[in-house]
Amino acid sequence: MDSILTITNLTKKFGYLTAVNDLSFTINKGNVYGILGPNGSGKSTTLGIVLNVVNKTSGDFKWFDGKTTTHDALKKVGAIIERPNFYPYMTAVQNLKLVCKIKEVDFSKIEEKLEIVGLLERKDSKFSTYSLGMKQRLAIASALLNDPEILILDEPTNGLDPQGIHQIREIIKQIASQGTTILLASHLLDEVEKVCSHVVVLRKGVKLYSGRVDEMISSNGFFELKCNNNEELVKILESIPVFGNIKVKNQLVTAFLNEPLKSDTLNKLLFEKGIVLTHLVQRKESLEEQFLTLTNNK
């Protein structure tokens, strides 16, 4: 698989504070990556470094095969970090033309990209008259102008209203479905869960996990069970070796699996022992639960 971005032992210190600590990971072509972490975990700093606006303290990163200079590589990248930054006195089209000049691509894609983000009708309005949601969508259009190899988004839905958030997510999903590699930094877990296949988890600048979202915790999931006699149920569950931790809360029995077990097998087993379930759900931990487990454990 072609690697797009390789980060090795990257470190950034702001005075005493270490914002990014010995971070290494690789972004491969075609996947949708999420960088997850609470506020202040070093997400934006990491992106700032690879995007040439923050100076690294030590370590290294390389774009593509590492043969092009960073600023040339960035012409093949589309990126939005934090707030959308454009010239307030220029219209959408004028701003995009400027981006085209910088990226050395022609103006032919401007209308098409404005169409994707639904700003074609307002293309001749000044940027300063745009709402935050529109500004953010213009930023996405601008990042797409060069049909980038990778799209980098840093908190793209930050500060938007629910409708704006929904619009941005739809756009991201649409872009991802066309096979563009995406790197999405966010502290919103459901956002990452909905669009990403791979995830890098950071806390205080240290990498806690990187890999596929569904392999983040080697877990076989858990059962949520209810019946008329919970005490008896717990006793029986404890006698079955595949179960590990068993918790009872609000009449709901949660039993974690150490090995895989199918729900029909469990149902049959319990029925044979005289337990009739009123509630049976097999689930895997949501990303949020996995994330909290990860960030609390270490």
The contact set with other proteins (CB under 8 A) reads 14, 48, 51-55, 69-72, 74-75, 77, 79, 81, 83, 85-90, 94, 97-99, 101-104, 142
User: CB-wise, 48 or 255, nearer to other proteins?
Assistant: 48
User: CB-wise, 128 or 174, nearer to other proteins?
Assistant: 128
To which residue do tokens 């923050």 refer? 54
User: CB-wise, 136 or 290, nearer to other proteins?
Assistant: 136
At closest approach, how far in Å is the CB of 144 from other proteins?
Answer: 12
User: CB-wise, 29 or 75, nearer to other proteins?
Assistant: 75
User: CB-wise, 100 or 201, nearer to other proteins?
Assistant: 100
At closest approach, how far in Å is the CB of 150 from other proteins?
Answer: 13
Rounded Cα gap, residues 28 and 160, in angstroms: 30
User: CB-wise, 29 or 103, nearer to other proteins?
Assistant: 103
At closest approach, how far in Å is the CB of 68 from other proteins?
Answer: 11
At closest approach, how far in Å is the CB of 162 from other proteins?
Answer: 26
Are the CB atoms for 81 and 142 separated by under 8 Å? Answer: no
Which residues, 6 or more positions from 148, have their beta carbon under 8 angstroms from its beta carbon? 76, 77, 78, 180
At closest approach, how far in Å is the CB of 278 from other proteins?
Answer: 56
Rounded Cα gap, residues 191 and 169, in angstroms: 8
At closest approach, how far in Å is the CB of 137 from other proteins?
Answer: 15
At closest approach, how far in Å is the CB of 50 from other proteins?
Answer: 10
User: CB-wise, 74 or 208, nearer to other proteins?
Assistant: 74
At closest approach, how far in Å is the CB of 103 from other proteins?
Answer: 5
**132-144 vs 162-177: helix axis angle to the nearest 10?**
10
The gap from C-alpha 50 to its chain's centroid, in whole angstroms, comes to: 17
User: CB-wise, 63 or 291, nearer to other proteins?
Assistant: 63
In angstroms, the Cα distances linking 159 to 78, 152, 165, 187, 202 are: 21, 18, 9, 13, 22
